[in-house]
Structure 1
Amino acid sequence: PLSRNPCKSCAVVSSSGQMLGSGLGPQIDQAECVLRMNTAPTLGYETDVGSRSSLRVVSHTSVPLLLRNQTYFFQQSQDTVYVIWERSNPPVPYHYYEKGRLDECTMYMMHERASRGAHRFITEKA
């Protein structure tokens, strides 16, 4: 399936709450390829996120969720290609110029747990 011709049009659908009320479902479903992330459902949200999935990129941490709902993910969407990924777990410095300081994951977790928590990716890297 991954050897098929490239898509002429592609919709990358996030699992963000920003999708609710968007009404983009029909437009998403018109794309030749529809890419989704992890276990974000389409059932019940078709108006906003569409119903088709060509490719679903799944973190290794979400695999148990896929297996708990096999009927939905593997039988209803038999044409979907699943790509499972896992990071190799090297410590990555938060900034390339601050070697020896906090690694990226520790920095995110520290800021999310702070009393005025904010996800550092959203506030700094976006």
Structure 2
Amino acid sequence: LKCCGGADGFIDWNNNIYFNCSENNPSRERCGVPYSCCRPVDDGSLIINTQCGYDTTDKSSAEVSDRIYTVGCISQLVKFVNSNLYLIGGVSLGIAVLQILGIFLARILHTQIDEQKTRFENSKQQNQYMSRF
């Protein structure tokens, strides 16, 4: 989704104990974001520097936008859902139809099993009745 963080973007990583910018955080990842927030190289093929997110949350969005994604993942997810609403609805409807079909077939199987049990019980009773004579 080309995003980083939650609602407030990359700044949300300040809430994480490993990435926050507090003075008592000894981690090397202090004031940073994870590798998943890094932007790929110009050709878009790969990310060469896995430490590109270090020392970013204490800077402004404009200063780090060339190295990491600054937009929050919640807003990106909302955009994705809105732009693919018909596809998501179609897939959901298809899954629902398959589930209903499965329930219908299971009910038919249950009915057939009950009929077989009834036939067996009836034939068992007839055999007991016939054995008396």
Structure (1/2) with the larger strand percentage:
1
Point out which structure has higher relative CO (alpha carbons under 8 A, 6+ apart): 2
Structure (1/2) with the larger helix percentage:
2
Q: TM-score by structure 1 length?
A: 0.21
